[in-house]
Amino acid sequence: MEPATIGGDGQRSRHDGPPGPGRADAPSSPARRRFLRFLVGFSATSTIGMIVAPVVGFLVPPRTQGGGGGRAVAGTLQDIPANTGKVVAMGSAPVIVVNTEAGVKAFSAVCTHLGCIVDFDTTTRHIICPCHDGHFNPSSGAVLSGPPPAPLPPVAVAIENDEIVLVPGGG
Ligand code: FES
């Protein structure tokens, strides 16, 4: 058997075989182990977070202005001047707010015919449905002409400090 090669300085050369556990550059050194543990922990935490976050997001409903059916601010009186109207969101429901000679009124913006979203027409000063030319009275929501079978359901409105506040369930 041939003896192990020893260099001129009495140390084993780099070509003597794989690094052993006692060497400073070995993969099992404490610093490397801590770093690898950190990487594994970080990866596991990130993976769990990526799985859990969408599940929680799906199960917990988002908070919207108006609290998903609660009071909602439609804007100020300057946003909706006389003889104009605007469709706003009250939670997930569209509401048309109109500023008429009878005051500020609000109605569901879902047409009672086939469910299109209505709008305010400044020429006729009617709430109109673009789908089948339905016309509604902006003061009462009553059907004026066209195929809609019923008036637009009213939404209660309050004016608070120049703000137009929609109050669900108060129509
Ligand atoms: S959906 Fe509005 S008139 Fe038909």
Mean pLDDT of the chain: 82
Structure-model confidence comparison of residues 11 and 155, the more confident one: 155
52 near 58, Cβ under 8 Å?
Answer: no
- The finding on whether 134 has its CB within 6 A of some atom of ligand 1 is yes
* pLDDT digit string, tens, across residues 9-60: 545 444 455 555 555 555 578 888 889 999 999 999 989 988 888 787 777 6
Residues 6 and 1: their CA atoms lie apart, in Å, by 15
Q: Which two tokens stand for residue 82?
A: 């006389």
Distance 131 CA to ligand 1 centre (A): 5
Pocket test for ligand 1, best of 116, 117, 126 (most atoms within 8 A of CB): 116
Which pLDDT belongs to residue 61? 54
Residue type, 94: P
Any idea where the domains of the chain sit in the sequence?
Answer: 14-59, 72-167
- The finding on whether 119 has its CB within 6 A of some atom of ligand 1 is no
146 near 129, Cβ under 8 Å?
Answer: yes
Question: CA torsion, points 109, 113, 119, 120, in degrees to nearest 10?
Answer: -110
Residues 155 and 171: their CA atoms lie apart, in Å, by 4
The predicted model scores a pTM of 0.61
- The finding on whether 132 has its CB within 6 A of some atom of ligand 1 is yes
Q: What CATH architecture is 72-167?
A: 3-layer Sandwich (2.102)
Using CA positions, which residue lies closest to atom 1 of ligand 1? 114
- The finding on whether 135 has its CB within 6 A of some atom of ligand 1 is no
**What residues does 121 pair with on adjacent strands?**
126
Q: Which two tokens stand for residue 169?
A: 């369930």
Q: CA triplet 19, 24, 28: central angle to 5 degrees? A: 70
- The finding on whether 129 has its CB within 6 A of some atom of ligand 1 is yes
Confidence of residue 170 (pLDDT cuts 50, 70, 90): low
- The finding on whether 71 has its CB within 6 A of some atom of ligand 1 is no
